[in-house]
Amino acid sequence: MPVVPPVELPLPQRRRAARVILRRLHKLYPEMSTALDYADPWQLLVSTVLSAQTTDDNVNRVTPELFDRWPTPEDLAVARPEDVEEVIFSTGFYRQKTKSVLSLAADLVERFEGQVPRDLEALVTLKGVGRKTASVVLAEVWDDPAIAVDTHVKRVSQRLGLTTNDDPVKIEHDLRDLYLESTWSGISMRFIQFGRDVCDARKPHCWECPVRDRCPYAPKTRRPRVGR
């Protein structure tokens, strides 16, 4: 099934559709925030790094011990890698993730006195922090205008005709162009949840989709018949 709709709507039409879509997703998900548990920007930053290739629940199972043993960036920067690996083991890719969070902690201490900067350009200079992670932290912690583009945001945006791009940075710019800045921080989490619940990667539930009439994606799926 094609992911990118073949026809790009003119900008005014796309803007109108984009706003209707977001309004309906607000209705579907009135309150949205990350499922990752965190007490401060530092904890969300680390948890977001750990959430790669695993579920938020898995991350939430290990972070209480992680932050209990190494509460600050200063503590984690000097932790023994073997000890950290043991704690975060169940999140998968534990060796790489340990390296990432240890160097992130050291970098934060060295260049930002252990304080998470509230600035996208500064955040992405931190070791192991990409644009997506930085945007999650900015939007979640401070409600700052930022749009994180992950695999769900990308798929949903493409199917809904909000972008014809494939590159996450270009998709982010397309979304910024369609939406008022005051709404940016509420976009990613809703698109992600909608992508998980309804606009599934392999089998979108088009028959129960609240934005079906605004979606150029074809072919739409039908409700599966029971017993077949």
- Site track for ligand SF4 across 181-210, x = CB under 6 A: -----------------xx----xxx--x-
Number of residues that bind ligand SF4 (CB under 6 A): 13
User: By CB under 6 A, is residue 25 in contact with ligand SF4?
Assistant: no
Q: Is 160 in the site for ligand SF4 (CB under 6 A)?
A: yes
Q: How far is the CB of 141 from ligand SF4 (least distance, A)?
A: 29
Q: Is 66 a residue that touches ligand SF4 (CB under 6 A)?
A: no
Residue 154 is a binding residue for ligand SF4 (CB under 6 A)? no
Catalytic residue among 132, 197, 200, 203: 132
Distance CA 157, CA 191 (A): 8
Q: Does 159 bind ligand SF4 (CB under 6 A)?
A: yes
132 noted as active-site residue? yes
**Whose Cβ is closer to ligand SF4: residue 137's or residue 211's?**
211
CA torsion, ordered 200, 202, 207, 210, to nearest 10 deg? 20
The sign of the dihedral angle between the CA atoms of 25, 31, 37, 39 is positive
Query: Which residue's CB is nearer to ligand SF4, number 22 or number 66?
Result: 22
Between residues 50 and 206, which has the closer beta carbon with respect to ligand SF4? Answer: 206
Whether residue 99 lies in the annotated active site: no
- Give me the active site residues, please: 132, 150
Which residues of this chain interact with ligand SF4, rule CB under 6 A?
A: 159-160, 198-199, 204-206, 209, 211-212, 215, 217, 220
